[in-house]
Structure 1
Amino acid sequence: MSINLSKGQRIDLTKTNPGLTKAIVGLGWDTNRYHGGHDFDLDASAFLTDANNRVVQDVDFIFYNNLIHPSGAVEHTGDNRTGEGEGDDEQIKINFSKVPSHIERIAITVTIHDAEARSQNFGQVSNAFVRVVDEQTENEILRFDLGEDFSVETAVVICELYRHNGDWKFNAIGSGFAGGLASLCRNFGLEV
C-alpha cells in the first residue's frame, strides 16, 4: 500500500521495506493551457551529494547528457520532451547497494528546458508528482504530489533520498528555484 506524503514529511525506505535494494523514482506532470508556441520539456535530474550537500565530481550529476553513474547506482531512463501520456514522464532508477560510500544524499530535481527563452515556469505546470516504486515487486511505496505552490520558478528540488544510520530515507522537499538548471547546479556546488 502506497503512502501519500506532504511537503516536509520524511519516511523510512529501506528499514520499513526490508529487502528493498532497487527503487524506481517516477516523476510526472501535466502542463496547463499555454499558447506560447513551444512544448514544455521538463527534465528530471539527480544530484548525488556528500554530507555537505555538495556534488564532489561531475559524474555525480545524473541528467539527460549523463544518464548512468559510473557505479551503476543511479540511472536516468531517458528524456521525455513533451510530458504526453499517463503515468511517469521520466524515471530515475536507484540501486541502493551500489551507491558509493561518499554519497550521502540523492536530490531529485525537475527543471524546465529553455524556460527563460520560452517564457515558461512551474506556475504553468500542474499535477506534478514523484513516486517511489520497488523495482522488484513493482509496488508503489510512496507518492508525493507537489500541489500548485509555484509561480515563476523554473526548477524544483522535488525530494531527496538520504542515508541515516545505514538505512535510506525519503524527504518530500518541493522547493522552487529561479534560474533553471544552472541555478540548481550552483546550489549543489557544480560550476556552470
Structure 2
Amino acid sequence: MATFKLAKGQSFQIHKEMELVHSGLVWDPPEGSGPAFDLDVHCFALIHPGGDANRARLYNDGSHALCYAFVRGPGNPEGSLSKNPDGSFQTGDGSMWHERDDRTGRGGPVRADDDDDEEGGHHGEGFREEFKIVLAKLPADVAELAVWATIHDAERKRQDFGKVKNAYIEVCDAMDDELCRYQLTAEFAGKTTIQVASFLKQSDGSWKFHAVGAGSNAGLGEVINAYLG
C-alpha cells in the first residue's frame, strides 16, 4: 500500500471500518560515540468538554494515557496502566497498548518475513517506540488521542530534536501496511518536546490522523498537568 506523506497541518482520513491501528516513532541512532537518543512516545486519550478542543482534558484522569508516568509499579502504586513482564503496558480495557521502552534508537529485530518494499517504514527499519490503538474499543467519550514525543534526559545529554536524524511517526493498519507518515524536520531544532500529531474523532465515528508539529521545551509533567486542568 502506498504511503501518504503528511506535511505539518495535513490530515489522513482513517476508514471507518478500520478498527485497529499501529503507530510509532522511527529514528536513526547517532553516528560515532555520542550518547544514544532515548526518545519516548506518549499517547493521551482526551475528552473535549462542551465540544471545545481547546479545553481538552485527560479522559478519566489518565486511565487511557499511554505514558510511562501512568504505569503502575513500586514507585507509582496508583498508576492506572498495568505493566507486562516484557516491559510493555496497556489500558485495563485493552483498547490501548504500548511496546516496551527503547532506550537506544536501534529498535528490535526485524522479522525475516517482513516485506522490504521501497517505501521502507517499520518493515525495513523497526519501530523504535510503538503503540497500538483498538479504535473500536475506545470509550465513547474519547474525542482525541494526542501523540507527544520527548527526549529522556535531554538537558543532561544536551540533546534536542534538531539533532535527531531521520525521525518520523507512521501509522499502519492491522496488517502492518503503512498508511501515512509525518517527518520531523529541522524546524524542531532546540526543542525537547513535540506534540507530533493527534487522532481526531469525526462526527460519523471515524478518525483522522492530523500532523500537529508543535514543538516546545515543556517537561512531560507540564504537558500532563495542562491536560489535568
- Settle same-fold status: TM greater than 0.5: yes
Deviates more, 1:58-67 or 1:173-182: 58-67
3-state SS, counterpart of residue 83 of structure 1: coil
- Structure 2: any 5+ residue segments left out of the alignment? 49-54, 72-80, 82-88, 108-124
3-state SS, counterpart of residue 12 of structure 2: strand
Within the candidate set 168, 171, 185, 1:129 is matched to: 168
- Contact kept, 8 Å, 2:199 with 2:207, in 1: the verdict is yes
The answer to whether the aligner puts 1:184 opposite 2:201 as a matched pair is no
Name which one, 1 or 2, has greater alpha-carbon Rg: 2
Q: Matches of 1:45 and 1:116 in 2, distance apart?
A: 19
Q: Matches of 1:180 and 1:23 in 2, distance apart?
A: 28
Q: TM-score, normalised by structure 2?
A: 0.74
| 1:30 corresponding residue in structure 2 | 28
3-state SS, counterpart of residue 81 of structure 1: coil
- Contact kept, 8 Å, 1:126 with 1:148, in 2: the verdict is no
The answer to whether the aligner puts 1:74 opposite 2:77 as a matched pair is no
- Contact kept, 8 Å, 1:177 with 1:184, in 2: the verdict is no
Q: Whose helix fraction is larger, Structure 1's or Structure 2's? A: 2
Compared with structure 1, are the counterparts of its residues 34 and 108 closer, same or farther at alpha carbon in structure 2 (3 Å cutoff)?
A: farther
- Structure 1: any 5+ residue segments left out of the alignment? none
3-state SS, counterpart of residue 93 of structure 2: coil
Question: How well do the aligned residues superpose, as a CA RMSD in angstroms?
Answer: 1.9
| 1:43 corresponding residue in structure 2 | 40
| 1:61 corresponding residue in structure 2 | 65
3-state SS, counterpart of residue 156 of structure 2: helix
Identity of aligned residues (%): 32
Q: Matches of 1:2 and 1:23 in 2, distance apart?
A: 14
CA positional deviation for 1:118: 2.2
Q: Matches of 2:170 and 2:36 in 1, distance apart?
A: 24
CA positional deviation for 1:60: 2.5
Q: Matches of 1:113 and 1:187 in 2, distance apart?
A: 20
- Contact kept, 8 Å, 1:31 with 1:124, in 2: the verdict is no
- Contact kept, 8 Å, 1:5 with 1:142, in 2: the verdict is yes
Deviates more, 1:19-28 or 1:180-189: 180-189
| 2:197 corresponding residue in structure 1 | 159
| 1:103 corresponding residue in structure 2 | 142
Q: Matches of 2:160 and 2:102 in 1, distance apart?
A: 17
Q: TM-score, normalised by structure 1?
A: 0.87
